[in-house]
Amino acid sequence: MATATEGDARRPVYLDNAATTRARPEVVDAVVTALQERFGNPASIHTAGLEAERLVKEARSVLAAALEVPADDLYFTSGGTEANNWALRGVLAAYARRGRHLVTTAIEHSSILSTARRLEAEGHRVTIVPVDRQGRVDPERVAAAVADDTVLVSIMLVNNEIGSIQPVADIVRAVRARRPDVLVHVDAVQAFGKLPVKPRAWGVDLVTVSAHKIHGPKGTGALYVRRGVRIQPLLVGGEQEGGLRPGTHNVPGIAGFGVAARLILAEQPELSRRMHALKLRLVQRVQAEIPDVYVNGPDPDEGAPHIVNLSVVGARGEVLVHALAQRGVYVSTGSACTSRRTAPSHVLQALGLPPERLDSALRISLSRETTEEDVERFVAALKEAAAEVRAVAAVRGRR
Ligand code: PMP
């Protein structure tokens, strides 16, 4: 029988879909069409311009339907990072007279936490709410952080490292019971296409989404801003996106985003059920085959369907990632945006995990392309890699 190590000519097992996903063929077609055929500038008034404008309009209406919001309340950006930076900075600037306080959580994506730190250095007040061992925020703790000068609360719906899901509707309710005029932003980058995202039903004012996590193109995202909410632009220039996000539209990216969103939403919720079942199987098989493996964050039965974080105690996560890559299996130690740093993940630290769990963490993330065979190949490769890395670590430890 072939082992996972024997020069594996099969396709790689890609389990890093929280970092990014493969564009699906229909998306590639839409991008190519926008680049080669409908290549006009949507701001131009001739037919070529109108054709490109139609692509942007179609994508906007798909996203609006997906989020159940008016199309005019969506603004295309260069991705989730820009949308997150803009939500925080733009809202705090527009409401400077109301106050200078921002509330967020300890496990947000770096595009939120780094912006929050910058804002603090610029004179804003920032409160970081902790999470429990499952990576969940207590709505009452968020509400308790709200003060007279609070302008904005920013919470992610699904965490990108551990897959914890925040009770956003309960958080909004608790916050508004304390102060009805506080605005709420949700980073839904990892949730969109996997769980329902319902800003209006939840009373959320701003939402960030990104295309490349749902088999769309990289470098394209959007920010929903509820009508009536004021926001200052980050950029100035042309009149695109109501003057709030100037710059020639990334028509290929936007067209691809629209197609990716339409297709992934049509697969819901069946796709989530399938990924959830594969995730449970993966955890169960790993724990049956490999000793001393622990799940970090939510119970696998809860949490987002596509993300699981495991610690293989006694093996460094980084070393395991390389050992797995040699076997054609791609996972990560945590967020792609911070994976080149050696410091332990702020998310795992916020869970209060002991050092041996922080060092040995792996994030495994699934997509619509993940199969049972992938899960089995992952388990086989991890079993070998863990034994190898642990053996080396044990020898080193004895020296
Ligand atoms: N928020 C979360 C939760 C994410 O996982 C990511 C992507 N790593 C982002 C924001 C940033 O999105 P983008 O890659 O489109 O800038």
Q: Which residues pair with 332 in a beta bridge?
A: 363
Q: Is residue 54 part of a domain?
A: yes
Q: Are 326 and 387 in contact (CB under 8 A)?
A: no
Would you state the pLDDT for residue 335? 72
DSSP collapsed to 3 states, 66-77: HHCCCHHHEEEE
The CB of 256 under 6 Å from ligand 1? The reply is no
Q: Is residue 235 part of a domain?
A: yes
Residue at 364: amino acid letter? I
Where residue 193 sits, what CATH number does that domain have?
A: 3.40.640.10
| Mean pLDDT in residue range 162-172 | 98
Q: pLDDT at residue 187 above 70?
A: yes
Q: Is residue 190 part of a domain?
A: yes
Would you state the pLDDT for residue 366? 98
Structure tokens at 204: 């959320």
Q: Is residue 196 part of a domain?
A: yes
| Mean pLDDT in residue range 377-389 | 98
Unique residue bearing structure tokens 């990924």: 275
- Write b or e for each residue in 70-103: b if 16 or more Cβ atoms lie within 10 A of its Cβ, otherwise e: eeebbbbbbbbbbbbbbbbbbbbbbbeebbbbbb
Same-domain pairing of 233 and 172: yes
Same-domain pairing of 63 and 123: yes
Would you state the pLDDT for residue 334? 81
Same-domain pairing of 15 and 30: no
Would you state the pLDDT for residue 110? 98
Would you state the pLDDT for residue 298? 98
Of 160, 207, 208, 215, which is best to mutate to test ligand 1, by the most ligand atoms within 8 angstroms of its C-beta?
160
Q: pLDDT at residue 2 above 50?
A: no
CA of 236 to the centre of ligand 1 (A): 24
Same-domain pairing of 286 and 204: no
Q: Is residue 317 part of a domain?
A: yes
Find the catalytic residue in 106, 337, 387, 392: 337
Q: Name all contacts of 272-279 with Cβ < 8 Å and 24+ positions apart.
A: 272/194, 272/195, 272/305, 272/306, 273/305, 274/368, 275/194, 275/305, 275/306, 275/366, 275/367, 275/368, 275/370, 276/305, 278/366, 278/370, 278/371, 278/372, 278/375, 279/305, 279/306, 279/307, 279/308, 279/366
Unique residue bearing structure tokens 């969103």: 261
Residue 337 annotated as catalytic: yes
Q: Is residue 1 part of a domain?
A: no
Q: Are 338 and 345 in contact (CB under 8 A)?
A: yes
Indicate the residue among 244, 263, 282 that finishes a domain.
Answer: 263
Indicate the residue among 198, 230, 263 that finishes a domain.
Answer: 263
The CB of 73 under 6 Å from ligand 1? The reply is no
Q: pLDDT at residue 131 above 90?
A: yes
Would you state the pLDDT for residue 1? 44
Q: Are 16 and 330 in contact (CB under 8 A)?
A: yes
Same-domain pairing of 275 and 350: yes
Would you state the pLDDT for residue 116? 98
Would you state the pLDDT for residue 98? 97
The CB of 364 under 6 Å from ligand 1? The reply is no
Q: pLDDT at residue 307 above 70?
A: yes
Same-domain pairing of 283 and 242: no
pLDDT tens by residue, 248-277: 999 999 999 999 999 999 999 999 999 999
- Dihedral sign from CA coordinates of 98, 100, 105, 111: positive
Residue at 357: amino acid letter? R
* Cα-based distances in Å from 396 to 13, 49, 159, 388, 393: 30, 64, 35, 13, 5
Would you state the pLDDT for residue 120? 98
Pairing of strands 101-105, 293-296: unpaired
**By percentage, how much of the chain surpasses pLDDT 70?**
96
Same-domain pairing of 370 and 244: no
Would you state the pLDDT for residue 350? 98
**Pick from 41, 61, 91, 396: nearest CA to 230:** 91
Would you state the pLDDT for residue 341? 58
Of 76, 77, 107, 109, which is best to mutate to test ligand 1, by the most ligand atoms within 8 angstroms of its C-beta?
109
Q: pLDDT at residue 86 above 90?
A: yes
* Cα-based distances in Å from 219 to 209, 222, 277: 11, 10, 31
Would you state the pLDDT for residue 375? 98
Same-domain pairing of 290 and 226: no
Same-domain pairing of 236 and 304: no
| Mean pLDDT in residue range 165-190 | 98
**By percentage, how much of the chain surpasses pLDDT 90?**
93
Same-domain pairing of 78 and 198: yes
Residues 6+ apart with CB under 8 A from 350: 106, 107, 130, 131, 135
State the pLDDT confidence band at 10, using cuts at 50, 70 and 90: confident
Pairing of strands 183-187, 221-225: unpaired
Would you state the pLDDT for residue 395? 87
pLDDT tens by residue, 30-83: 999 999 999 999 999 999 999 999 999 999 999 999 999 999 999 999 999 999
| Mean pLDDT in residue range 90-99 | 98
State the pLDDT confidence band at 9, using cuts at 50, 70 and 90: low
The SS3 call for residue 187 is strand
What's the number of domains the chain is made of?
A: 2
Q: Are 327 and 379 in contact (CB under 8 A)?
A: no
The CB of 332 under 6 Å from ligand 1? The reply is no
Indicate the residue among 263, 287, 311 that finishes a domain.
Answer: 263
Looking at ligand 1, which residue's alpha carbon is closest to its atom 5?
Answer: 160
Q: Are 285 and 374 in contact (CB under 8 A)?
A: no
Q: Are 139 and 174 in contact (CB under 8 A)?
A: yes
Q: pLDDT at residue 338 above 80?
A: no
Structure tokens at 375: 């899960």
Q: Is residue 149 part of a domain?
A: yes
CA of 88 to the centre of ligand 1 (A): 15
The CB of 220 under 6 Å from ligand 1? The reply is no
Give the CA dihedral 5, 10, 16, 20, nearest 10 degrees. 150
DSSP 332: B
Where residue 292 sits, what CATH number does that domain have?
A: 3.90.1150.10
**Pick from 315, 308, 328: nearest CA to 374:** 328
Cis peptide before 246 (omega within 30 of 0): no
CA of 109 to the centre of ligand 1 (A): 7
Would you state the pLDDT for residue 170? 98
pLDDT tens by residue, 15-31: 999 999 999 999 999 99
Same-domain pairing of 254 and 283: no
Same-domain pairing of 150 and 40: yes
The range of the structural domain enclosing residue 56 comes to: 25-263
CA of 193 to the centre of ligand 1 (A): 14
Q: Is residue 305 part of a domain?
A: yes
The CB of 221 under 6 Å from ligand 1? The reply is yes
The CB of 313 under 6 Å from ligand 1? The reply is no
Q: Are 187 and 80 in contact (CB under 8 A)?
A: yes
